[in-house]
Amino acid sequence: MIRILMVCLGNICRSPLAHGILDSKLDSNFFEVDSAGTSNYHIGSLPDKRSIAVARKNNLDITNQLGKQFIVEDFETYDYIYVMDKSNFENVIKMARNVEDIAKVKLILNESHPNKNLEVPDPYYGGDSGFDDVYKMLDEACDCISKKTQC
């Protein structure tokens, strides 16, 4: 089993979308996808209504997800840790214990835009269109991840 973790700040907007999108593109016999936030703000919460809505618009149900916080043991559990932005990257790297841990952490948009270090913007304080933009970026990145892992 290959285990992949999607990480953002709150685990209610971006990473639940990334989690649902990638899960829908991979064979669950071989891949397990999950998500977490670096903060403790929304532990146990459903994804943001706007993330649920944009997922539903794209035929994806993410209401089976509940917020959880990234913990150091996640470096053992997961093979790949995709973060949404540079601040998530810093927060996760701060918890790394060795170079193997650090090597697992990648900016997710580097999958679709290699070496550009682009960020998935935090849509939390913006309008609904921010969620559409985030969905498109994540769908493209997850396509690249799924093609890579299945080749």
- The answer to whether residues 88 and 7 touch, using CB atoms and an 8 Å cutoff, is yes
Known catalytic membership, residue 139: no
**Which amino acid makes up residue 39?**
S
Give, in order, the Cα–Cα distances in Å from 129 to each of 53, 123, 124: 12, 9, 11
**Angle formed by the axes of helices 14-25 and 49-57, nearest 10°:** 30
Please report how close the Cβ of residue 83 comes to ligand 4NP at its closest, in angstroms. 10
The window from 2-10, 22-30, 52-60, 105-113 that contacts ligand 4NP (CB under 6 A) reads 2-10
Known catalytic membership, residue 23: no
Q: How many residues bind ligand 4NP (CB under 6 A)?
A: 11
Binding to ligand 4NP in span 33-92, by CB under 6 A: 37, 41
Question: Considering the rule CB under 6 A, would residue 14 count as an interface residue with ligand 4NP?
Answer: yes
17 backbone dihedrals φ, ψ, rounded to 5°? -65, -50
Catalytic residue among 8, 23, 48, 74: 8
What positions carry a catalytic annotation?
8, 14, 122
